Structure 1
Amino acid sequence: MTIPGTSRAIGGGIAVFIALVIISGCFVTVGPGQRGVLMTWGAVEPGVLDPGLHLKIPAVQTVARMDVQVQNSQDAETAASLDLQDVTTTVATNWHILPADAEWVYQHIGNETALVNKIIKPAISNSVKAVTAHYNAEDLITHRDQVRAQIEAQIMAELKPFRLVVDSVNITDFHFSSQFAQAIEQKQVAQQRAQQAQYELQKAKVVADQRIVEANAQAQAQKLLQQTITPEIIQQQAVAKWDGHLPEVIGSSGVLPMLGNLSAGRENRRSGE
C-alpha cells in the first residue's frame, strides 16, 4: 500500500531534479583564456562567447570551447641541406588563436587537436625544409640565429591565413649523421692544430727578431767602445786598479811591461817639458 504523502514527495523530488537539469542546461561557462563557439543543431553561429556565464537552449544549442592562450608545438623535422646532408632540426613554436577568430578556426579547421595536426605541424615541416635547403650543413650551426629568423618568418606566413599568430620560434637542436659529425670534429681539430702551429711560428719569429736587435745593439756598443778607449786610457785604468805590489814573476827586461810602458811615457813627457 502506497502512502499518499510519500508518493507526492517522490514525485516532487523528481520534478525538482528535472527542473534543475533543464535549468543547468540553459547555462554554459566559458573559462579564462577560452572563447566559446555556439552551435545550433550543429551549425556554427556567428561570433564568439567571451569568458563568463552564457545562456543557451538545452538540447538545441551546444558550445565548443577554444583555447586562445599561447600553446607550444615542438617537432623534429629531417631535411636535406644545400650540400645534401640529412639534418634533423628540432623546432619549438609558440602560437595562439586570435580570440575574435575562434569561431572561424573551429568552423573551417576544428578544435585544437585538428588544428595542430592539419595546420601547425605541416607548416613547421614545410618551413624547416624550405630554409634548410638554402644552407650547407655546417653553415646551419654558424648562422643559427639567421636560420631561426627565416624559419620563423616562413611559419608566420603559412599560419597567417588560418587566423593564427606565431609568438616565437626556437631551434632547440641540430642533429647530423654520425659520419658528418665526425668530419666536423676532425676539421675542428685540424684547425686548432694549424692555429697552434701559426702561434708557435709567430713566437719563434719574435724571439729571433729580439736576438737580432740584441746582437745589433751589442755590436754597436763594441764599436763605440773601440772608438772612445785609447791606449793612454787603458794604462790609466790599470794604474788606478794597481794595489802597489809587484808580482813575483816579472819579465826578462827586469820590469813589468806595463810599468815599463808607463815609465817610458813619463820619460817622454819629461823630455817634452
Structure 2
Amino acid sequence: MLKQKINNFKGFSAFKMLPILALVVTVYNSYFIVIEGHVGVVKRFGEAKDQQNPGLHFKIPFIETVENIEVRTRKNAEKMASSTKEQMPVTVEVSVNWTVNKEAALDLFKRYGGLDQFEQRILDPRFRSATKDTIPQFEAEQLIQDRASAINGIERRLSDEMAGFPVVVDNIQIENIVLPQKYINSIEIKQTEKNLAAAEEHKLERQRLEALRAVNTADAKAKGILKVAEAEAKSIILKGKAEAEAIEAKAKALRDNPLIVKLTEAQNWDGKLPSTIMGQGNMPIIDLRENNNRSN
C-alpha cells in the first residue's frame, strides 16, 4: 500500500515537472550567440534565410537553427607532385590563405553548403591546378633560387580563377620543394666547385693586391731616393756655384788691389829668407846657405 502511494507520488511529480522542462528547453532554443570571427546563418526548416553578426540573437525555437560561418583568414595547404621545365619530377608543398567576404557569407552557404564543401569543391581543385600549371614553367635551379617568381605565378593564376567567388585569396607560399637526390647531389658538387673557384679568385685578387702594394712601395722608395739624390745634386750645384762665385769675387778683388797679394805674402812670411833663388836666363840655382857658411 505504501509502495503504491510512493509510486503515485513520483508519477504525479514527474507529470508536474514536464511543463517546466518544456519551458526550459523552449527558452534555451529561443536564442543563439555568434562568436567573433564568424557570422550566423539562420536556417528555417533547412532553408537559409539571413545572417547575423557576432553577439546575442533570438530565433524561433525548434523551427530555426543556426550555422556558424568563419569569416577569419583560413589556411589551406597542399602537397602535390609536379615536374620542372626540364621534366624533372618534383614534389612541392604549397599553402594559401583565403578569407570569406563577410557580406557574402549567406550567399556562399546557399550555393555551396558551407566552408568545407567550398574548399573541397571549389578552392582546392583550382589551387592544385594553378600550382601544377605554374611549376613546369621554371627550371629546378630557378625554382629553388627564385621562389618568389613561382609564387607570383601561382597567385596570378589562382586569383583569375577565383575572381567570381565571394572570397579573397592571398599570401601563397611554397613551403617546401623536394627534388631527386641525384639532382641535389649535383647541386652540392656545383656549389662546391663554385665556392672553390670563388676562393681561388679571392686568392688571386689578394696576390694581385700584394704585388701592387709591393710595386707601389718600391715606386715610393725609388721616388724617395730620387728626391734625395735630386736634393743632394742641387746642394752640390749650389755649393759649387757659391764656391765659384767666391773664387771669382776673390780673383776680382786681387786684380783690383795688387797690394792685397803683398799683404797676404807678408802675413804668411815666417821671417826666414828663401834658401834658394831662381836665376834669370841660364843662371843656375844658387844655394845661399853654403855662401853664408863660408862667410862665417
- Normalising by structure 1, what TM-score? 0.70
Match for residue 82 of structure 2? 79
Query: Which aligned pairs between 1:1-273 and structure 2 lie closer than 5 A?
Result: 1=5, 9-45=13-49, 47-209=50-212
> Contact 2:85 / 2:137 at 8 angstroms: preserved in 1?
yes
Sequence identity percentage = 22
Match for residue 284 of structure 2? none
Number of residue equivalences: 230
CA distance in 1, matches of 2:179, 2:101: 37
CA distance in 2, matches of 1:195, 1:147: 29
> Contact 2:155 / 2:170 at 8 angstroms: preserved in 1?
no
- Which shows bigger deviation, 130-139 or 208-217? 208-217
* Structure 1 pair 21–218 and aligned structure 2 pair: CA distance change class (3 A): closer
Q: RMSD of the alignment, in Å?
A: 3.1
- Which shows bigger deviation, 211-220 or 11-20? 211-220
CA distance in 2, matches of 1:20, 1:87: 60
Which residues of structure 2 form unaligned runs of 5+? 237-296
Q: Residue 161 of structure 1: CA displacement?
A: 2.2
Which of the two has higher C-alpha Rg? Answer: 2
Q: Residue 126 of structure 1: CA displacement?
A: 1.7
Which residues of structure 1 form unaligned runs of 5+? 234-273
Q: Residues 44-77 of structure 1, C-alpha deviation per residue, up to 9 Å, x if partnerless?
A: 22x3122223333333322211111111222222
> Contact 2:45 / 2:63 at 8 angstroms: preserved in 1?
yes
* Structure 1 pair 6–79 and aligned structure 2 pair: CA distance change class (3 A): closer
Name the structure, 1 or 2, with higher relative contact order (CA <8 Å, separation 6+). 1
CA distance in 2, matches of 1:152, 1:50: 31
- Normalising by structure 2, what TM-score? 0.65
* Structure 1 pair 8–134 and aligned structure 2 pair: CA distance change class (3 A): same
